[in-house]
């Protein structure tokens, strides 16, 4: 244990030494901390100004439940395929072969994973201003949501380890576990539907279903929601009860795992190596199975179908996309985003049928646009062009670096265009919005896709392949806000001056300054970074 304590102390010391030797990163940390403080103070002031005029806290129940369900269920299902791990390759190379008790190393891995998860969820504090102003949540409540999310994730990872050890190499057991997971989700959904129908349907019944105490009875995920909102609402008894349940489940699972006869090292070795390869090859792409050697790939049509010189990369990306999905640009993320839009529409229709107030079709379409834009930002990993930077071929092609950058980025430009056309065409029909509003949302969505791409290229050009993806995400958000601000301000000014004077074309006219600015600043950034591929060391 003394050796592990020494290792932790050295890691902390080296972290601060690295900041000293890289003042640019130190400046970023200071800027992020200052922005976080400003955000919190703005939220406190905004909350005081609103008095008691806050949104229903049950909406936040639904948002938080969706968040922890996504974290928990995705982790469990992924672990059945590739297991889970709390270690890195450096731990495998040095700790696994050291004369230290494996159980002690296991404890070290849990502590390290807890700290990493806490740090990774810090970005949630940047939503503090919005939550304080809209839901009357204080800083303690926000910190509680983060802490309980981390606790839940650690417990889920322990469950994943046990399930993987139990089912590894046995397809029948894996299918049984999947059935239990789906039954858990189905039972939770049926419970929510029961509460919804019991309360007569409509918006009020939907909110009651999201915040139902019956949902909080479900192990781990329900307990997490109960503990977090017990803290937020000041119900200390509920908070303590669910906290004790989570702590007891963690201790019980840890004891069960430590007493199991499975070879932990053997089980996590392949998973650790897979995750290492995924981080190296695809940056923050979160699907480890994409780099597994045993993954079945549907070849289908062979050959690129065209291309010469720099534009070969565009045809190569089309071929890769076609093998993953016959619709090429309409990927799983596209289906998820469209489903979110349609669920929003269904909720509004339910509200209207129950006699409640609902936004008009144009405003509803703009609300869907806001949600889609946020999902675009979250799903805008680095794209095909960034994966090419991890291979030597794009640097070896004897063509102009700027051409190579443009063609390698082309699929990342076209995907938001295709997605936007599908999203807002279907959503506009569903909510009966005008064609002008749909076209405005399409243009804005496509321009923001180009802006996100330009921001990624700028980040790669200036910061390179930083290992700290959480820091990069926060910095990326700040840079994008600064880049898009002039266009948004221009659209707001036009919207205020021309309010109620353009009829159905109002949103289209208001969007033009923002769209024009996004395209202009994106093209300027891409041009300024045109030599990104001229030197291998620059980007890596």
Residue pLDDT, tens place only, 433-450: 888 888 988 999 999 988
pLDDT of residue 338: 81
Asked if residue 357 is part of any domain, the answer here is: yes
Candidates 167, 170, 156, 165; CA nearest to 262 is 165
Spatial separation of the C-alpha atoms in residues 338 and 4, rounded to whole Å? 48
Q: Output the CA–CA distances (angstroms, integers) from residue 408 to 316, 378, 402, 414, 443, in the order listed.
A: 9, 21, 10, 12, 22
Do 250 and 340 share a domain, yes or no? Answer: no
* Phi, then psi, of 501 in degrees rounded to 5: -120, -5
Domains in the chain: how many in total?
Answer: 2
| C-beta separation of 444 from 515 below 8 A | yes
**Per-range mean pLDDT, top range of 90-99, 196-205, 431-440:** 431-440
Q: Average per-residue pLDDT in the chain?
A: 75
262 and 339 assigned to the same domain: no
Whole-angstrom Cα Rg for the chain: 25
| 5 inside domain | no
* pLDDT for position 172: 83
467 & 532 share domain: yes
The pLDDT of 521-540, averaged and rounded, is 74
Note whether 174 and 320 are same-domain residues.
no
- As given in the structure block, the two tokens for residue 276 are 């290492």
Are 183 and 38 part of one and the same domain? yes
Q: Is residue 295 in some structural domain?
A: no
Maximum distance among all Cα pairs of the chain, rounded to whole angstroms: 77
Secondary structure (3-state) at 392? coil
Residue 205 in 3-state DSSP? helix
Q: Do both 267 and 318 map to the same domain?
A: no
**Domain end among 274, 291, 320:** 274
What is the distance in angstroms between the CA of the first residue and the CA of the last residue of the chain? 36
Count of residues in the chain: 540
Say if CB 123 and CB 150 are below 8 A apart. Answer: no
Spatial CA neighbour of 205 closest among 339, 358, 356, 54: 356
Q: What is the pTM of this model?
A: 0.59
* CA contacts within 13 A on the Cβ side of 295: 14
Q: Which range, 171-185, 330-344, 356-370, is most confident?
A: 171-185
Nearest to 265 by CA among 69, 98, 25: 98
Average the pLDDT over 483-504 and give the result: 80
Q: Are 423 and 338 in contact (CB under 8 A)?
A: yes
- pLDDT tier for residue 538 given thresholds of 50, 70 and 90: very low
Q: Would residue 1 count as lying in a domain?
A: no
Q: Are 165 and 267 in contact (CB under 8 A)?
A: yes
Find where tokens 């659209």 sit: 491
Beta carbons of 366 and 511 less than 8 angstroms apart: no
- Per-residue model confidence (pLDDT) at position 167: 74
Same domain, 52 and 149: yes
Q: Is 463 left (phi over 0), alpha (psi -120 to 50) or beta?
A: alpha
* Domain identity same for 138 and 264: yes
- Which value, to the nearest 10 degrees, does the dihedral of the CA atoms of residues 430, 434, 440, 441 take? -10
Tens of pLDDT along 344-366? 677 666 655 555 555 577 777 88
Q: Averaged over 520-539, what is the pLDDT?
A: 77
User: Mean pLDDT throughout 92-120?
Assistant: 68
Q: Is residue 301 part of a domain?
A: no
pLDDT of residue 283: 46
Angle formed at CA 146 by CA 145 and CA 147, multiple of 5 degrees: 95
Residue 444 CB neighbour total at 10 angstroms:
26
Torsion 189-195-196-197 (CA) sign: positive
- Residue 443: per-residue pLDDT: 92
For residues 124 and 217, membership in a common domain is answered with yes
Say whether both 269 and 181 belong to one domain: yes
CA dist., res. 432 & res. 426, Å (int): 10
Determine, yes or no, domain membership for 157: yes
- Is the distance from CB of 113 to CB of 150 less than 8 angstroms? no
Tell which phi-psi region holds residue 328, choosing left (phi > 0), alpha (psi between -120 and 50) or beta. Answer: left
Boundary-marking domain end, from 274, 301, 318: 274
Residues 397 and 499 in one domain: yes
| CA atoms within 13 A of residue 466's CA, in its CB half-sphere | 21
Taking residues 446-459, what's their average pLDDT? Answer: 86
Domain housing 346:
309-539
Residue 451 structure tokens: 């802006």
- 492: in domain: yes
Domain boundary at 274, 301, 326, which? 274
What angle is formed at CA 65 by the lines to CA 62 and CA 69, rounded to 5 degrees?
140
Per the model's pLDDT, the better-predicted residue between 305 and 209 turns out to be 209
Q: What is the pLDDT of residue 246?
A: 92
In a domain, 110, yes or no: yes
**What angle, rounded to 10 degrees, do the helices at 57-82 and 264-282 form?**
110
DSSP annotation of 391? S
Residue 520 above 90 pLDDT?
yes
* Inter-residue contact 305 to 318 (CB < 8 Å): yes
Residues 184 and 244 reside in one and the same domain: yes
Q: pLDDT confidence of 240, banded at 50, 70, 90? A: very high
């Amino acid at each position: 244990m003394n050796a592990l304590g020494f290792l932790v102390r050295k890691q902390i010391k080296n972290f601060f030494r690295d900041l000293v030797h890289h003042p640019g990163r130190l400046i970023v940390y200071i800027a992020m901390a200052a922005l976080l403080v400003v955000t919190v103070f703005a939220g406190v002031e905004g909350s005081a100004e609103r008095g008691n005029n806050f949104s229903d806290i049950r909406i936040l129940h639904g948002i938080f439940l969706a968040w922890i369900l996504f974290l928990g269920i995705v982790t469990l299902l992924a672990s059945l395929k590739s297991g889970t791990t709390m270690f890195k390759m450096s731990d495998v190379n040095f700790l696994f072969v050291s004369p230290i008790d494996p159980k002690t190393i296991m404890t070290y891995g849990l502590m390290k994973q807890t700290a990493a998860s806490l740090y990774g969820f810090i970005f949630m504090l940047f939503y503090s201003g919005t939550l304080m102003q809209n839901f009357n949540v204080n800083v303690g409540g926000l910190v509680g949501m983060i802490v309980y999310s981390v606790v839940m994730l650690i417990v889920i990872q322990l469950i994943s380890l046990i399930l993987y050890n139990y089912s590894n190499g046995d397809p029948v057991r894996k299918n049984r576990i999947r059935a239990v997971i789906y039954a858990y989700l189905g039972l939770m959904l049926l419970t929510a539907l029961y509460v919804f129908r019991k309360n007569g349907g409509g918006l009020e019944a939907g909110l009651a279903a999201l915040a139902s105490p019956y949902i909080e009875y479900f192990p781990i995920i329900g307990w997490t929601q109960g503990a977090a909102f017990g803290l937020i609402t000041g119900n200390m008894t509920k908070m303590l009860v669910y906290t004790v349940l989570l702590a007891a489940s963690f201790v019980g699972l840890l004891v069960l795992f430590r007493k199991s006869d499975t070879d932990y090292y053997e089980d996590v070795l392949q998973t650790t190596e897979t995750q290492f390869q995924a981080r190296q090859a695809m940056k923050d792409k979160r699907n480890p199975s994409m780099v597994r050697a045993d993954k079945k790939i549907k070849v289908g049509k062979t050959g690129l179908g065209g291309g010469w010189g720099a534009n070969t990369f565009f045809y190569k990306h089309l071929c890769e996309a076609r093998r993953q999905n016959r619709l090429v640009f309409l990927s799983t993320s596209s289906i998820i985003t469209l489903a979110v839009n349609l669920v929003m529409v269904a909720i509004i229709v339910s509200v209207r049928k129950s006699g409640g107030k609902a936004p008009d079709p144009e405003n509803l379409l703009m609300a869907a646009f806001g949600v889609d834009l946020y999902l675009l930002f979250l799903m805008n990993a680095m794209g095909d062009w960034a994966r090419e930077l991890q291979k030597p071929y794009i640097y070896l092609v004897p063509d102009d670096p700027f051409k190579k950058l443009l063609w390698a980025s082309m699929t990342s430009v076209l995907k938001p265009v295709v997605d936007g056309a599908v999203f807002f065409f279907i959503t506009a029909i569903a909510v009966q919005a005008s064609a002008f509003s749909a076209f405005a949302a399409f243009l804005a969505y496509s321009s923001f896709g180009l802006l996100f791409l330009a921001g990624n290229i700028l980040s790669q050009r200036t910061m390179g392949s930083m290992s700290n993806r959480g820091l990069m995400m926060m910095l990326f958000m700040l840079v994008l806000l600064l880049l898009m601000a002039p266009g948004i301000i221009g659209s707001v000014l036009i919207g205020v001056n021309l309010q109620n004077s353009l009829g159905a074309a109002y949103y289209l006219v208001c969007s033009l300054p923002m769209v024009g600015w996004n395209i202009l600043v994106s093209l300027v950034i891409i041009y300024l970074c045109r030599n990104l591929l001229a030197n291998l060391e620059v980007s890596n």
